[in-house]
Amino acid sequence: MAQPKYTRIDNKRPSSYCSTVTIVVFVALCLFGIWMMTSSSIVPVQTVDVSEENKNDVREQKEVKEQATDTSNNNSPQFEDNRGDLSDDTTKGDGIVTPDKNNDVPEKQKEKLDEKPEENSSEDTKTVNNDSNVSDKKSDSDENEKKSDSAETGKGSDSDENEKKSESEESEKKSDSEEPEKKSDSEEAEKKSDSEDTEKKSDSDETEKKSEDASETLDKNEEKVVQSDNKESDENSTETKTSDNANNQGSNEVYPSVAQSELLNESTISNGSFSTQATESKDEKESQVSSKESTGYTWKLCNVTAGPDYIPCLDNLKAIRNLPSTKHYEHRERQCPEEPPTCLVPLPEGYKRPIEWPKSREKIWYSNVPHTKLAQYKGHQNWVKVTGEYLTFPGGGTQFKHGALHYIDTIQQSVPDIAWGKRSRVILDVGCGVASFGGFLFERDVLTMSLAPKDEHEAQVQFALERGIPAISAVMGTKRLPYPGKVFDVVHCARCRVPWHIEGGKLLLELNRVLRPGGFFVWSATPIYQKLPEDVEIWREMKELTKAMCWEVVSISRDKLNGVGIAVYKKPTSNECYEKRSKNQPPICPDSDDPNAAWNVPLQACMHKVPVNSTERGSQWPEKWPARLTNTPYWLINSQVGVYGKPAPEDFSADSEHWKRIVSKSYLSGMGINWSNVRNVMDMRTVYGGFAAALKDVNVWVMNVVSVNSPDTLPIIYERGLFGMYHDWCESFSTYPRSYDLLHADHLFSNVKNRCNLKAVVAEVDRILRPEGKFIVRDTVDIINELESMVKSMQWEVRMTYSKDKVGILCVQKSIWRPKELETLEYAIG
């Protein structure tokens, strides 16, 4: 169609060329006849009808662009009506899901990006595709744009303004990429050699093929969704394709709309589902500035005496050497360095992915915890044995050589009121060893917080965690345990080597603090059944102490199979006994002493009064499990204001429903996480325990962490039949490296950024997370961007990012990469 164009240009030339109208008409007719004879071999599909169709398509394309411009300015509500039908990754204003530049883009996706660079310019005009015909219109529009580049056809009959626009678009495409331009030229040349019917069939096949490729691409994205800071043109192109793909996929969602709605609730929405260009440009500028500021993260490998088992607050050898005394196990307590480490802990040689639960309860890889000392020391008691490449756990312990289950059932038979898994749901096991007691209580629907010190019983807590059993490194020393008062249904000690009777019973009084009124203390130790002089003396002192504490002796029984004795005590449910004592020993704590204050608080040799007000926590026993998980605690009343500003009961219920939807619609199905590989989970900043409660039917346990500078909601979590502890994330957690399969952090980093070294917190995340473990973060976009830069610098795999109005989600997977350069921590060198 070159000749009509020249004819039109001729009409604009000086009058000397147009003196005779007849000549012009005659020449035009001749040229038109020649063009008709040669059109089939020169240009594809250049019939009069198609020309008219192209003109209509051009006009239609202009109308679509004008409509889209109006839509972006006016925020038409027609798109809001259909918002619920779109998955989150298809809702353009709600989020951005793009491929990570560190990961290879699938070949078919690369081809699509090369074939249709015009989508970038289309996306820049904020064109919104909201019905099934839009993709066809866009395809026709793109075809017309290609035709304007080849042989100067199609738009040759339009105005000079359109010619300039075509040239501008062509220049824009060239600046984007040379490769798409070459490919586009090649395709046009190929099309010129086809007939009209062939091109129509080719167009149909190409559209169908792209649709199939789109579906395949989205399927891959569902399995593994990733994002990074690619070029803006790549982001727009991928975003448009993702939107079209998701419309074809229907219910298959990368990030479900229900979780998206929860994100929207955290932000102020003023433009419906679509952001403005001003907002997008501002956010991109801020993101680029943040990216520049956060680049250049470098990491070193910790050079410490503890090696792969390094726990910064328990391996501060310099501080331990300077302790004035170790009489009360001060050297086993937390002694954190002044500056938390920012280096990465090495891996044991030959480290493997941990064995899945429940097989892990019986055996673990020796290479993951290469310690044999405990097997040599406690092997005869069936703690742990070395079996080839495995460490095996027969299920025994010092007091239950013939298996934990028999021991557990013996306790139940001697004290039926314990009612494992119904009345007694959350228990504390002091001096847990390798935690076989807690490991087998899972079969009775009981959740056990196991604790033991990092001492000569080499790696006992590490064995427990590798087995998939909850445990922390702690000791009964000079400070309170990191739990609130009146929360454990049962406290258990099986020959735990704790001198309960000394110094006025200070250590036993600490158990009294954390034990729920009406709760049981189960003590299995030699003083109960042996007649050695030392045992007899300890037994006498324990009887006097427990009587003075008003603990009721419920049962003293004998496990004949294991040859041990078991004493069970019950904490009082009223203050009547305290008031009738002839001596005020141990004394009652003053009213000013808060039983819930537990972070670095010295032990006190006193007892707290039992709550008697019916609306006070501890005055009643919680509901039986599992009803207690979902029912609002009786002591939460409407006059109390919850964390989110609503009345406390309403706040509690809203939080539960919120996490129930998020977990079921997103975390369990929308992030590509294989939950069969997940066992040990931590919620690094919990509120009411909603995240953990939503995982009830998944075969995992969740350590709920309440930050020391956050509202103290940990008692609510225990009331639900869950567990957790207090912690300050400016310090390291009391656990071994590689303890958790999944870490979840909801607005943690934005809360600690101003008072903690963010890099040190990320290094701690790396320390406690297992290789190939998942890390899910919900936080501000600035924090998400900063964390993404950090984890990428550690060569972690970004599986998904999602953002909306400065709120975002990041899901990453830890790699096995370790840096080569060493950083020696002098305070951790022995």
Instruction: Check the CA dihedral 494-499-505-508 and report its sign.
Output: negative
Whether 369 is covered by a domain: the verdict is: no
Whether 288 is covered by a domain: the verdict is: no
Pairing of strands 680-683, 740-746: parallel
CA distance 327 to 311: 22
Pairing of strands 822-824, 807-813: unpaired
CA distance 573 to 579: 13
Cα distances (Å, whole numbers) of residue 256 to 75, 85, 248, 496, 803: 23, 11, 15, 48, 13
CB contact set of 186 (below 8 Å; sequence gap of 6+): none
The token duo for 112 is 């699509």
- Same-domain check for residues 13 and 137: no
What is the pLDDT, as a whole number, of residue 296? 81
Kindly tell me if the per-residue pLDDT of 208 is higher than 50. no
Q: Note the residue count of the chain.
A: 830
User: Quick one: which H or E segment has residue 597?
Assistant: none
* Helix pair 781-793, 277-294: axis angle to 10 deg: 40
CB contact set of 442 (below 8 Å; sequence gap of 6+): none
Residue 698 pLDDT class (50, 70, 90 cuts)? very high
CA distance 567 to 399: 13
Here the contacts of 315-322 (C-beta below 8 Å, separation 24 or greater) are 315/828, 316/827, 316/828, 317/827, 317/828, 317/829, 317/830, 318/826, 318/827, 318/828, 319/827
Residue 540 pLDDT class (50, 70, 90 cuts)? very high
Angle subtended at Cα 518 by Cα 516 and Cα 520, rounded to the nearest 5 degrees: 80
Which stretches within 633-678 are classed as H helix? 648-662
- Same-domain check for residues 570 and 533: yes
Q: Closest Cα to residue 714, out of 436, 385, 481, 484? A: 484
Look at residues 580, 609, 634 and tell me which one is the last residue of a structural domain.
Answer: 580
Look at residues 580, 608, 641 and tell me which one is the last residue of a structural domain.
Answer: 580
pTM higher than the cut 0.85: no
What is the pLDDT, as a whole number, of residue 32? 78
- Same-domain check for residues 142 and 195: yes
What is the pLDDT, as a whole number, of residue 166? 41
Average pLDDT over residues 238-254: 36
On the 0-12 / 13-18 / 19+ scale of CB atoms within 10 A, 520 is: buried
What is the pLDDT, as a whole number, of residue 237? 37
- Same-domain check for residues 70 and 126: yes
The CB-side HSE value for 27 (13 A sphere, CA atoms) comes to 14
Q: Which residue has the tokens 């096991």?
A: 429
- Same-domain check for residues 713 and 771: yes
What is the pLDDT, as a whole number, of residue 312? 98
What is the pLDDT, as a whole number, of residue 24? 75
The token duo for 281 is 């440009």
Range in 76-85, 110-119, 127-136 the model is least confident about: 76-85
Residue 239 pLDDT class (50, 70, 90 cuts)? very low
What is the pLDDT, as a whole number, of residue 497? 86
Task: State the DSSP code for 90.
Answer: G
Kindly tell me if the per-residue pLDDT of 552 is higher than 50. yes
CA distance 655 to 682: 18
User: Quick one: which H or E segment has residue 726?
Assistant: strand 724-727
- Same-domain check for residues 523 and 660: no
CA distance 486 to 211: 60
The token duo for 814 is 């830890």
Which stretches within 178-330 are classed as H helix? 178-192, 196-223, 232-249, 257-265, 277-294, 317-321
What is the pLDDT, as a whole number, of residue 399? 82
Render pLDDT for 362-390 as a digit per residue (tens, 0 to 9): 999 999 999 888 777 765 677 789 999 99
Kindly tell me if the per-residue pLDDT of 762 is higher than 80. yes
Q: Closest Cα to residue 102, out of 816, 789, 803? A: 789
Whether 341 is covered by a domain: the verdict is: no
Instruction: Check the CA dihedral 348-349-353-355 and report its sign.
Output: negative
Residue 42 · residue 188 · CB < 8 Å: no
Whether 147 is covered by a domain: the verdict is: yes
Query: Cα–chain-centroid distance for residue 77?
Result: 33
Question: Which domain does 27 fall in, by range?
Answer: 1-42
Query: Cα–chain-centroid distance for residue 84?
Result: 24
- Same-domain check for residues 185 and 142: yes
CB contact set of 246 (below 8 Å; sequence gap of 6+): 86, 87, 89, 90, 218, 252, 253, 254
What is the pLDDT, as a whole number, of residue 295? 54
CA distance 725 to 706: 6
Q: Which residue has the tokens 């039109």?
A: 8
Give the residue with greater pLDDT, 560 vs 321: 321
Kindly tell me if the per-residue pLDDT of 778 is higher than 60. yes
The token duo for 30 is 């001749």
What is the pLDDT, as a whole number, of residue 659? 98
Whether 379 is covered by a domain: the verdict is: no
What is the pLDDT, as a whole number, of residue 400? 86
What is the pLDDT, as a whole number, of residue 286? 63
Cα distances (Å, whole numbers) of residue 610 to 107, 572, 594, 615, 620: 68, 8, 13, 13, 11
CA distance 472 to 521: 20
Instruction: Check the CA dihedral 302-308-313-315 and report its sign.
Output: negative
Render pLDDT for 482-532 as a digit per residue (tens, 0 to 9): 999 999 999 999 988 899 999 999 999 999 999 999 999 999 999 999 999
* β-bridge partners, 552: 570
Average pLDDT over residues 32-50: 53
* Bond into 819 cis (ω within 30): no
CA distance 730 to 27: 86
Query: Cα–chain-centroid distance for residue 795?
Result: 17
Most trustworthy range by pLDDT among 144-158, 385-399, 728-742? 728-742
Angle subtended at Cα 394 by Cα 393 and Cα 395, rounded to the nearest 5 degrees: 90
Range in 220-234, 306-320, 407-421, 795-809 the model is least confident about: 220-234
What is the pLDDT, as a whole number, of residue 27? 79
What is the pLDDT, as a whole number, of residue 734? 97
Kindly tell me if the per-residue pLDDT of 48 is higher than 80. no
Instruction: Tell me the residue type at 307.
Output: G
Average pLDDT over residues 92-121: 39
- Same-domain check for residues 19 and 65: no
Kindly tell me if the per-residue pLDDT of 68 is higher than 60. no
- Same-domain check for residues 673 and 786: yes
CA distance 449 to 426: 8
On the 0-12 / 13-18 / 19+ scale of CB atoms within 10 A, 78 is: exposed
Longest Cα–Cα distance of the chain, Å, equals 134
Residue 259 · residue 658 · CB < 8 Å: no
CA distance 190 to 168: 24
What is the pLDDT, as a whole number, of residue 38? 66
- Same-domain check for residues 143 and 1: no
Report the CATH number at residue 433.
Answer: 3.40.50.150
Whether 376 is covered by a domain: the verdict is: no
Render pLDDT for 405-440 as a digit per residue (tens, 0 to 9): 999 999 999 999 999 999 999 999 999 989 999 999
- Same-domain check for residues 9 and 100: no
Residue 460 · residue 432 · CB < 8 Å: yes
What is the pLDDT, as a whole number, of residue 288? 56
What is the pLDDT, as a whole number, of residue 31? 83
- Indicate the number of domains in the chain: 4
Whether 728 is covered by a domain: the verdict is: yes
Q: Closest Cα to residue 90, out of 137, 127, 130, 135? A: 130
Whether 733 is covered by a domain: the verdict is: yes
CA distance 166 to 183: 18
- Same-domain check for residues 640 and 718: yes
CA distance 478 to 383: 29
Angle subtended at Cα 433 by Cα 387 and Cα 356, rounded to the nearest 5 degrees: 55
Range in 238-247, 343-352, 664-673 the model is least confident about: 238-247
Look at residues 580, 602, 634 and tell me which one is the last residue of a structural domain.
Answer: 580
What is the pLDDT, as a whole number, of residue 266? 41
Averaged pLDDT of the chain: 77
Render pLDDT for 802-821 as a digit per residue (tens, 0 to 9): 999 889 999 999 999 999 99
What is 399-448 written as a DSSP string? T-TT-HHHHHHHHHHH-GGG-BTTTB-EEEEES-TT-HHHHHHGGGT-EE
Kindly tell me if the per-residue pLDDT of 213 is higher than 50. no
